[in-house]
Amino acid sequence: MAAAGVAGCGLSYAVVSIMGPQSSGKSTLLNQLFGTNFREMDAFKGRSQTTKGIWIARCVGVEPCTVVMDLEGTDGRERGEDDTAFEKQSALFALAISDIVLINMWCHDIGREQAANKPLLKTVFQVMMRLFSPRKTTLLFVIRDKTRTPLEHLEPVLREDIQKIWNSVAKPEAHKDTPISEFFNVEVTALPSFEEKEEQFREQVQQLRQRFSNSIAPGGLAGDRRGVVPASGFLFSSQQIWKVIRENKDLDLPAHKVMVATVRCDEIANDKFGCITSDTEWLDLESAIQSGPIPGFGKKLSNIVDVHLQEYDKEAVYFDEAVRKGKRQHLESRIMNLVQPAFQKMLTHLRMKALEKFKTGLNSSLDSGKGFAVSVRDNTECSLKEFEQGCADAVIKQANWDCSKILEKVRRDIEEHALSIRESKLSELTRHAKEKLRKALAEPVESLFDAADQTTWASIRNVYRRETESILPEFLKKLCGFEMEYAPAEEMVSKLRDYARSVVESKAKEEANKVLIHMKERFITVFSHDKDSIPRVWTGKEDVHAIAKDARSAALKLLSVMVGIRWDDEPDGIESILTSSLLGGSVVSKIASAASADPLASTTWEEIPPMQTMITPAQCKTLWKQFKSETEFTITQAVSTQQAHRRGNSKLPPPWAIVAIAILGFNEIMALLRNPIYLFLLFVGYLIFKALAVQLDVSREFQNGVVPGIISVSAKLLPTIQNLVNKVATEQQVQHQHPLAVEPPQPQMQPPPLLLSPRSPMSELRRLHMPSSPRKVPSSPSSSSSSAMSSPRHVAEDQKPRTVVAGHENESNSADSIV
């Protein structure tokens, strides 16, 4: 202690010791871990005892000051089987003075009593609690030559063994219920083989070395440091502890028989567990269960387990009974842990099968028309019964596993699926009922609004009542199959009734948005048709103002229907308010009443709640102004038509004009009567003027204005006269050459009269109007007069733009006859 400089460290020091089997690499580990120079075994000279007694050194390069003790290995052949007192004493000494105790052990010896030092630790715990004040020591188990088994699988085994040892130790009354954590911190680490994986071994040792830095700090690797003496008194304290340990004669190991039974039964159990893991029948069963349920699964698996347990009993029958039974129970527990995943997989298959059976059965029952609640109840009972039978067939007799939890899961799965189907069916039923209500209400309500009158809302209420009373009882009857409670069923019916109201209200609001169009249509219908729905002919005898007032009144009645939603039967005065405000009185009286009190200067109606108002009074006033401005033109057209009809029917001048003409033109009239030739010339001049007017289409020429019409007629006048004269001359010449040729009427088509143009050459006119055969000259004045009277219509038709094709012969001679 003096040479290493430990005495002056005060309380800043830690003591680390190592214990374990002989030749397990304890000295090598300490040298690699702490940089010490303990003697190591030479593997080339054979395996023998290297460390004798207890060697002590100071760690190099680790703070705080760390004292390392290398203990003699246990289970050495040099001391023999019976001389193990020093092993117990050194182990007890290490536990008494050390903060950290490293327990070196082989990986493949985990679970063995002697190799893991479990009997030794049990004895040490008992003696330590009897001799010393308890202090918290860290037990760091170092697993050497770690195999592929993960550390997380090895550590629980060690911790369980330590806890069992602690529970089995007879404790004083003061510490009877004290947990092991009050005395020890159990840590586990693993290192690879030093000989086979030296580099990896060194790397992990360096990582382990980091854990010893600041080991005495709070949360460090060392214990709680209770009862630690100063470094200056460490020597005396250690001597006294060693003296007490040397004088104790009660330290003893378990009997040899128990130790052998423990080791041998453990080996047999491990061997049988390995046999079942490689059993072909078990492997086939495990593989088959992955794809689906297996009939007789529990019986087959129970037989496999029975075979291997019986083999264990046969080989371990002569060992200690307590040890044998304990190891058998442990083996059985390991086997159950091995086969439990396959059992759970079997239950999963049964669970899915039961759910699928329920789904199929429920669909079939519903398709057959069976009630939903009855179908769910029957299929649930059938599916659960089948699942329970499957569970009974899958249970292993060696295990006491409870299937009630998985049964509850199956029941819950069925209930969830049934609930989802129920919600789906109810939603579908509700959606179907809503669709029927919409179809039953939308079109009738729309047609009622098209023919809106005072009974419109009464008719709408009747339609609503009739359709809901027809559809909702049918819906409620279908709900009986679900066995619903009264309150939820009534709530669904109430929602459907509200939906029907919303359909009516939405359609009413939609039509209210088009009220101006409906008003104009109503006005046109009443204004343009009589009581028998026959279109009016404005002959001048109709009272346009009265008819217009009636049409506006009808439009106003329609507006009064559209202003709000009326679900009650109480009458209101909205129509009279609108009539008095918008239709009655003169403009001056309306202005005066508006200045005093305008009933439409508001945003609400007294008779209609605001939520049911579709058109406010102010909006009615605005709509009426727009309506009047858009219908004024129709009234103006009717008045203009009447005036035009009156002018067209007045053929004779007024009587006063006739009297004035007779008085002022008496001399001219008498002159015409005395000389009939003047009258004849006047008649001929009228005919010629009429023919030219028709041929030139004077009315069409003057459509573009007076000046353009005069210019166009002047340009066409001379060519037209020349054309007529030439045609008449040609006809006369043909008649003189064939005076007696009388040609019967020909049915074929003849060229129509030429659409004359000032630029048409005379030769072209003569060629087109040249007759193909001699014609009969009209012989009587009556025929000439008839031809002359009919010529204006034919000439007017000939003036339309068209391609020059064959026409009738009588049309080609119209102008000639007039001339």
As a whole number of angstroms, the distance between CA 181 and CA 136 comes to 8
What are the pLDDT digits (tens) for 730-743? Answer: 887 877 665 544 44
Instruction: Check residues 685 and 702 and name the one with the higher pLDDT.
Output: 685
In the CATH hierarchy, which top-level class contains the domain 2-247? alpha beta
Going by C-alpha positions, the residue among 472, 471, 447, 469 that lies closest to residue 460 is 447
pLDDT, tens digit (0-9, with 9 covering 90-100), for 367-390: 887 888 888 888 888 888 888 888
Average pLDDT over residues 192-213: 90
Domain ranges of the chain: 2-247, 252-401, 444-584+599-651, 657-718
| Measured distance CA(323)–CA(331) in Å, rounded | 12
The secondary element (H helix, E strand) that includes residue 363 is helix 321-367
602 is in an annotated binding site: no
Judge whether 774 is annotated as a binding position.
Answer: no
- Predicted pLDDT of residue 206: 92
Of the pLDDT bands very low, low, confident and very high (cuts 50, 70, 90), residue 76 is low
pLDDT in tens, 451-466: 888 888 889 989 999 9
Judge contact between 281 and 299, C-beta under 8 A. no
User: How high is the pLDDT of residue 203?
Assistant: 92
Mean pLDDT computed over 12-34: 87
SS3 percent helix, strand, coil of the chain, rounded to 5, is 65, 5, 30
Q: What is the pLDDT of residue 123?
A: 61
3-state secondary structure of 425: helix
DSSP per residue over 502-539, as a string? HHHHHHHHHHHHTHHHHHHHHHHHHHHB-TTSPBP---
Q: Taking residues 492-510, report their average pLDDT.
A: 90
333, pLDDT greater than 80? yes
The answer to the question of whether 21 is labelled as a binding residue is yes
Q: What is d(CA 437, CA 501) in angstroms, rounded to the nearest whole number?
A: 10
Could you give the CA distance from residue 637 to residue 643 in angstroms, rounded to a whole number?
Answer: 10
- DSSP conformation class of 780: S
- Give per-residue pLDDT as tens, 390-438: 888 888 888 888 788 888 888 888 888 888 888 888 888 899 998 999 9
Q: With cut-offs at 50, 70 and 90, classify the pLDDT of residue 768.
A: very low
> How confident is the prediction for the chain on average, in pLDDT?
77
Give the pair of three-digit tokens for residue 166: 């602690």
Indicate the pLDDT class of residue 259, thresholds 50, 70 and 90: low
Binned at pLDDT 50, 70 and 90, residue 57 comes out as very high
Is the pLDDT at 116 greater than 60? The verdict is: no
E strand or H helix at 648, and its extent? helix 617-649
**H or E element in which residue 252 lies:** none
pLDDT of residue 570: 80
Nearest to 776 by CA among 725, 819, 737, 739: 739
Q: Rounded to an integer, what distance in angstroms lies between the CA atom of residue 478 and that of residue 428?
A: 12
**Lowest mean pLDDT: which of 68-77, 297-306, 355-364, 438-447?**
68-77
Cβ pair 352, 318 in contact under 8 A: no
- Most confident residue range from 59-63, 246-250, 728-732: 59-63
Between CA 102 and CA 143 the distance in angstroms is 10
CA distance 679 to 786: 19
CA 572/CA 16 separation, integer angstroms: 105
Per-residue CA distances from 749 to 343, 735, 767, 806 (Å): 106, 22, 17, 5
**Whether residue 226 has pLDDT greater than 70:** no
- Mean pLDDT, residues 10-36 taken together: 86
24 is in an annotated binding site: yes
pLDDT tens-digit profile of 618-675? 888 898 999 899 989 988 988 888 887 777 665 566 778 888 888 888 888 787 777 8
Supply the pLDDT for residue 67. Answer: 93
Residue 391 CB neighbours (<10 A):
21
> Is pLDDT above 60 for 249?
no
Distance of alpha carbon 566 from alpha carbon 613, whole angstroms: 9
The pTM assigned to this predicted structure is 0.44
Fill in the amino acid letter for 779.
Answer: S
CA distance 792 to 692: 9
- Specify the long-range contacts of residues 216-223, CB closer than 8 Å, at least 24 apart: 216/12, 216/13, 216/14, 216/64, 216/99, 221/100, 221/138, 221/140, 221/187, 222/14, 222/99, 222/100, 222/138, 223/99, 223/100, 223/135, 223/136, 223/137, 223/138, 223/185
Q: Residue 55 is inside which H or E element, if any? A: strand 54-58
Contact 120, 72 (CB under 8 A): no
Is residue 220 a known part of a binding site?
no
Residue 719 in marked binding region:
no
- Show Cβ contacts of residue 262 under 8 Å, excluding neighbours closer than 6 positions: 112, 113, 320, 323, 327
Query: What pLDDT does 251 receive?
Result: 33
Q: Annotated binding residue at 22?
A: yes
- pLDDT surpasses 50 at 82: no
